[in-house]
Amino acid sequence: MNPANSHHEKKRLENPPKSIKFKIQRREKEGANAYWETFELPYRRNLNVISALMDIRKNPVTVEGKQTTPPVWDMSCLEQVCGICTMVIDGRVRQSCSALIDDILLESGGDTVSLAPMSKFPNIRDLKVDRSQMFEHLKQVHAWIELDGTYDLGPGPAISNETAQERYAYSRCMTCGCCLEACPQYGDDNYIGPQAIAQAKLFNMHPVGKTNTEDRLNGLMGDDGITACGNAQNCVQVCPMSIPLTRAIYETNRDITVNALFGWLKK
Amino acid sequence: MSTGLKIAIVGGGLAGLAAAMKIAEAGHEVDLISVVPVKRSHSVCAQGGINGAVNTKGEGDSPAKHLDDTVYGGFDRMGVPFSRTKEGLMDFRRFGGTLHHRTAFAGASTGQQLLYALDEQVRRWEVEKRVTKYEGWEMLSLVLDDHQVCRGLIAMNLQTLELKAFQADAVIMATGGPGLIFGKSTNSMTCTGSAVSACYQQGARYANGEFIQVHPTSIPGEDKLRLMSESARGEGGRVWVPKANGDARSPRDIPESERWYFLEEKYPAYGNLVPRDIATREIFQVCLEGHGVGGENQVYLDLTHIPAETLTRKLGAILEIYEMFVGDDPRYVPMRIFPGVHYSMGGLWVDAEQRTNIPGLFAAGECDYSIHGANRLGANSLVSCVYGGFVAAPSAIEYAKNVERGETETNGLYDAELKRQAQINEQIISNEGGENQYKLHEEMGKVMTDNVTVVRYNDRLKATDDKLLELQERCGKISINDSNLWATQAVPHARQLWNMMQLARVITLGALNRNESRGAHYKPDFPERDDENWLKTTIAEYSEEAPVFSYEAVDVSIVEPRKRDYSKGKTKSAQVPQPGSELKPEGREERWVKDGEKITEGGSIKD
């Protein structure tokens, strides 16, 4: 090791345990009772949660030696851009593809990793949840640009690079659900949540999308709308894409107020 | 108002969504079937950019003629946050090797941004009831009538295992690539090629299967291979392995004299900057011979001799990706990399209108063979997906409008196919042969990666096919290890595995037959391109014993084939075909030289 460099380096697990335990929340199907099962794998460097689950799936035997069913979970891109593999890992909601075992153990100081499904969505089985309500919310806020058609109508409107970059930050949302899981207000259809508000913001910022601002704001003015935000600010802390969610909420709330005060003038 | 025409689209990536949008826009109905919510399709992984078609003038009245404006203008108007000029217009950049292409991009996630734009537009059509999404459904087979005409498909609900027949006036396949055949690849876990294989087994022709693109530098992971930009080599990265096989020391404890910088040694003039395909082959070969780090398929790509500040400034974003998934900081610890299967140039055979040989069946995107020949250039995949979708949609509509069929023809067709698929499920569930499906998948991935990727030898290809036959037999003896059939992943995976093995044979035997080197297909025993015998499209047709191969001439009426030649001025050789200009045979060295610079083929963008 080069001592001159070492202090810049990321902290690594110095004395890894021989084996790691995975405590996984199981549920046979929606509505059934949840229970926990623990599995054990030999420690390997560079193991992430997905590789561990793949290993367990191959030979699903618990630490007690009981043959069980393979845990079910969702995965696709494994590069933290599709959002599908989100789950609650050691109490923290995040994508399981980018959850490295070394980092988790370094943080917890233990030799056990707990895996649970997100709690704010219907739990289909084991670690798999149904997030279709998030896509429904995108419909509620008209999260699209109304086009005349996609045939050749020339280029889009001029947009400053500044605005394009700001929109880019919002448009990276992969509908993973971290913000909703972490939000104390979200659940039981009481609140539409940060993701949809941020997407409304994304399209309200576009010169053409702007013309439908009212449709989007209307989608956020009901009882489940923006006023249900409790300002806990958890969302922005757990967002894996670092989307400025609280800013979107603040600015959209302001737009709604302005719209409510002066909207009738436009009629 | 709906016209009453219904088109089923399988796959909700760029190609599938592009087609869905076009069909909905034309007033027709779409059933969109996808294994994952479409916003989570593999297209999100494309980071590079989107190339435009150029020089299309004079090519006749082709659909490609207005593609540039349609694609760029369309996505721009949909609100994709492309980089802008000072005036607020779309900014275009040029990349190495693509002098005549314009590349537009949105941050470092162009694929994600384009997919999202289409996802939003299709959601809008969903609200209008033109598009019905079936997310979490996997296509199992086509429904063909007595005349081998496609009348719809059977799909399975991945939660309930319910089977459902989708009646359709036409079906468009847009399911992407088959990377999982190689076990680990840069592809998403949904990229099994299973649905396309089902079409092949029902009579669809599969073309150019042997052309599989391998990216030189990917990050080996236990779960998948993640792309590492080639710019790491461009910025001075050195590739090496320990001289002693299996040297277990930390890389920093291995002194210079005990490191083998094999690219620098073998190619002193260009060292680590040899072009993509050569780097890929050399790294692969070194590992195949047992010199890989820790005896595994990996070599060091070392940046640690460059000051950390410089690396952060020049390569910050890509080094972060490495750190996120590996945990090591490449500024202080050499990266471990290995070539990774990245893209299939082969796929379902289609004509210029994206029609397969089965009437009523169309294909678009990576699952069709038609765009990239024997190798693909960077930033071309996104445009080919959108193009394929934009052409397949009107083509399918045209077909559906004009096809004549009697009412009674379909009597019992759907039920019969549903029954056949239900029986396959029952068989899989009741089998008790003791084979583990995930281990079989690993075995297949290993034998395919070792023998049917970068360097291909005929004896090994033959042995691979024998192995595939053995695996196929064992596939019939899988005991699924899941007694809970609700949302089980074992049944779908067992089906995918069987289908992957069929395509694996197409890829392997196609490579065995092709005794030449061309594009991504390289045989040391046949190192030259052989246009006289092999300027041909490979066509595979299913039979129970083995794929049946035939070869179709390639239409070279527009661009005459010429030697890949980087020794000449680029503008001259790339701009216009040089009919009759016989290029002298060249050594490898000459191919690397371009005006005294390093080769810029493919550039440093990732996609």
Give me the phi and psi of A68, to 5 degrees please. -135, -175
Same domain as B349, residue B316 = no
pLDDT of residue B49: 66
Same domain as B224, residue B180 = no
Q: Is A265 exposed, middle or buried (0-12, 13-18, 19+ CB in 10 A)?
A: exposed
Query: Would you tell me the crossing angle of helices B381-402 and B110-127 to the nearest 10 degrees?
Result: 30
- Indicate whether B33 pLDDT > 90: yes
What residues of chain A lie within 8 A of the CB of B485, using their CB? Answer: none
- In whole angstroms, what separates CA A249 from the centre of its chain? 17
Report the b/e string of B477-505 with b at 16+ CB within 10 A. Answer: ebbbbbebebbbbbbbbbbbbbbbbbbbb
Amino acid in the structure at residue B579: P
What's the CA gap between B443 and A222, in Å, rounded? 55
Nearest neighbour of A28 by CB, restricted to B85, B120, B484 = B484
Domain assignment of residue B564, yes or no:
no
Interface touch A5/B308, C-beta < 8 Å: yes
Number of domains within chain B: 2
Same domain as B431, residue B365 = yes
Nearest neighbour of A81 by CB, restricted to B22, B112, B135 = B112
Tokens encoding B416: 């019969």
Interface touch A164/B79, C-beta < 8 Å: no
Q: Name, in order, each residue with C-beta under 8 angstroms of B326's C-beta and a sequence gap of 6 or more.
A: A46, A100, B219, B221, B335, B336
- Going by pLDDT thresholds of 50, 70 and 90, the confidence category of residue B102 is low
Q: Between the ranges A118-127, A209-218, B49-58, B307-316, where is the mean pLDDT highest? A: A118-127
**3 state SS for chain A:** CCHHHHCCCCCCCCCCCCEEEEEEEEECCCCCCEEEEEEEEECCCCCEHHHHHHHHHHCCECCCCCECCCCCCCCCCCCCCCCCCEEEECCEEEECCCCEHHHHHHHHCCCEEEEECCCCCCEEECCEECCHHHHHHHHHCCCCCCCCCCCCCCCCCCCCHHHHHHHHHHHCCCCCCHHHHHCCCCCCCCCCCHHHHHHHHHHHCCCCHHHHHHHHHHCCCCCCCHHHCCCCCHHHHHCCCCCCHHHHHHHHHHHHHHHHHHHHHHC
Q: In sequence order, what are the beta bridge partners of B537?
A: B552
Domain assignment of residue B490, yes or no:
yes
pLDDT of residue B51: 67
What's the CA gap between B585 and B562, in Å, rounded? 12
What residues of chain B lie within 8 A of the CB of A159, using their CB? Answer: 84, 88
Q: Is B555 exposed, middle or buried (0-12, 13-18, 19+ CB in 10 A)?
A: exposed
Domain assignment of residue B568, yes or no:
no
Q: Is the pLDDT higher at B592 or at B453?
A: B453
- Going by pLDDT thresholds of 50, 70 and 90, the confidence category of residue B2 is low
pLDDT of residue A151: 79
Q: Is the pLDDT higher at B200 or at B570?
A: B200
Query: Is A203's Cβ below 8 Å from some Cβ in B?
Result: yes
Give the start-end residues of each E strand in B258-309. 259-260, 299-302
Query: Is B328's Cβ below 8 Å from some Cβ in A?
Result: yes
Q: Name, in order, each residue with C-beta under 8 angstroms of B561's C-beta and a sequence gap of 6 or more.
A: B531, B535
Query: Is A210's Cβ below 8 Å from some Cβ in B?
Result: no
- Going by pLDDT thresholds of 50, 70 and 90, the confidence category of residue B64 is low
Residue of A82, A106, A168 to mutate for B, most B C-beta atoms under 10 A: A82
Same domain as B522, residue B414 = yes
Query: Would you tell me the crossing angle of helices B437-451 and B458-475 to the nearest 10 degrees?
Result: 170
What CATH number is associated with residue B168?
Answer: 3.50.50.60
Which domains, from first to last, does chain A contain? Answer: 15-129 (3.10.20.30), 132-145+158-266 (1.10.1060.10)
Q: What is the dihedral of CA A50, B12, B198, B472, to 10 degrees?
A: -10
Same domain as B266, residue B157 = no
Same domain as B226, residue B168 = no
pLDDT of residue B565: 56
Same domain as B237, residue B199 = no
Mean of the per-residue pLDDT values of chain A: 93
The structure tokens 């989007």 sit at A216
pLDDT of residue B48: 65
Query: Is A4's Cβ below 8 Å from some Cβ in B?
Result: no
Q: In sequence order, what are the beta bridge partners of A80?
A: none
pLDDT of residue B578: 34
H or E stretch covering B215: strand B212-220
Same domain as B160, residue B49 = yes
- Indicate whether B284 pLDDT > 50: yes
Tokens encoding A103: 């980092």
What's the CA gap between B216 and B239, in Å, rounded? 12
What's the CA gap between B494 and B482, in Å, rounded? 12
Residue of B120, B318, B320, B437 to mutate for A, most A C-beta atoms under 10 A: B120
Give the start-end residues of each E strand in B368-465. none
Query: Is B41's Cβ below 8 Å from some Cβ in A?
Result: yes
- Indicate whether B584 pLDDT > 70: no
Domain assignment of residue B600, yes or no:
no
Assess contact for B437 and A70: CB atoms under 8 A.
Answer: no
| 96-125 in chain B: CB under 8 A from chain A | 106-107, 109, 112-113, 116, 120-121, 123-124
Same domain as B220, residue B164 = no
Sign of CA dihedral B342, B346, B352, B355: negative
Question: HSE on the CB side for B4, CA within 13 Å?
Answer: 1
Q: In sequence order, what are the beta bridge partners of B575?
A: none
Assess contact for B339 and B218: CB atoms under 8 A.
Answer: yes
What's the CA gap between B276 and B284, in Å, rounded? 12
Q: Is B433 exposed, middle or buried (0-12, 13-18, 19+ CB in 10 A)?
A: exposed
* pLDDT tens digits, one per residue of B377-418: 766 788 889 999 999 999 999 999 998 776 656 779 999 999
- State the nearest Cα–Cα gap between B205 and chain A, in angstroms: 28
Instruction: Write down how long chain A is.
Output: 267
pLDDT of residue A40: 98
Domain that holds residue B160: 1-211+345-558
What's the CA gap between A199 and A186, in Å, rounded? 17
pLDDT of residue B380: 78
The structure tokens 């040391």 sit at B524
What's the CA gap between A30 and A123, in Å, rounded? 6
Tokens encoding B542: 């299913």
**Long-range residue pairs from B486-490, CB within 8 A, at least 24 positions apart, any chain:** B486/A28, B486/A29, B486/A125, B486/B159, B486/B160, B487/A29, B487/A72, B487/A124, B487/A125, B487/A128, B487/B158, B487/B159, B488/A72, B488/B161, B489/A57, B489/A70, B489/A72, B489/B158, B490/A70, B490/B437
Give the start-end residues of each E strand in B35-130. 50-51, 92-93, 103-104
Q: In sequence order, what are the beta bridge partners of A26?
A: A35
Domain assignment of residue B87, yes or no:
yes
Give the Å distances, CA to CA, from B292 to B239, B283, B286, B298: 11, 9, 6, 5
- Residue B77 sits at the vertex; the CA angle it makes with A259 and A174, to the nearest 5 degrees, is 75
- Residue B576 sits at the vertex; the CA angle it makes with B571 and B577, to the nearest 5 degrees, is 125
- State the nearest Cα–Cα gap between A151 and chain B, in angstroms: 6
Mean of the per-residue pLDDT values of chain B: 87
Nearest neighbour of B327 by CB, restricted to A102, A145, A158 = A102
Domain assignment of residue B601, yes or no:
no
Domain assignment of residue B575, yes or no:
no
Same domain as B420, residue B293 = no
Domain assignment of residue B603, yes or no:
no
What residues of chain A lie within 8 A of the CB of B120, using their CB? Answer: 138, 143-145
- In whole angstroms, what separates CA B346 from the centre of its chain? 8
Amino acid in the structure at residue B332: Y
Same domain as B380, residue B337 = no
The structure tokens 């799909």 sit at B155
End of a domain among B312, B341, B370? Answer: B341
- Report the candidate in A9, A236, A135 with the shortest Cα–Cα distance to residue B39: A135
What CATH number is associated with residue B274?
Answer: 3.90.700.10
pLDDT of residue B99: 45
Amino acid in the structure at residue B435: E
| 34-73 in chain A: CB under 8 A from chain B | 44-48, 50-51, 54, 57-60, 69-70, 72
Assess contact for A127 and A136: CB atoms under 8 A.
Answer: no
- Indicate whether B63 pLDDT > 80: no
Tokens encoding B304: 């640690």
User: Strand B206-207 and strand B347-348: pairing?
Assistant: antiparallel
* pLDDT tens digits, one per residue of B499-509: 999 999 999 99
- State the nearest Cα–Cα gap between B578 and chain A, in angstroms: 34
What residues of chain A lie within 8 A of the CB of B323, using their CB? Answer: 10
| 209-248 in chain B: CB under 8 A from chain A | 221-224, 226
- Indicate whether B567 pLDDT > 60: no
Low-confidence ranges of chain A (pLDDT < 50): 1-7
pLDDT of residue B368: 97
Q: B66-75, B181-190, B457-466: which has the minimum mean pLDDT? A: B66-75
- In whole angstroms, what separates CA B525 from the centre of its chain? 26
- Indicate whether B217 pLDDT > 80: yes
Tokens encoding A48: 């992430």
Amino acid in the structure at residue B401: K
User: Strand B548-553 and strand B131-135: pairing?
Assistant: unpaired
Assess contact for B240 and B218: CB atoms under 8 A.
Answer: no
- Report the candidate in B115, B105, B94, B116 with the shortest Cα–Cα distance to residue B48: B105
Give the start-end residues of each E strand in B312-387. 335-344, 347-348, 361-363
H or E stretch covering B280: helix B276-288
Q: Name, in order, each residue with C-beta under 8 angstroms of B164's C-beta and a sequence gap of 6 or more.
A: B137, B154, B155, B156, B157, B418
End of a domain among B323, B341, B359? Answer: B341
Same domain as B499, residue B465 = yes
Question: HSE on the CB side for B154, CA within 13 Å?
Answer: 23
* pLDDT tens digits, one per residue of B134-177: 999 999 999 999 999 999 999 999 999 999 999 999 999 999 99
- State the nearest Cα–Cα gap between A176 and chain B, in angstroms: 10
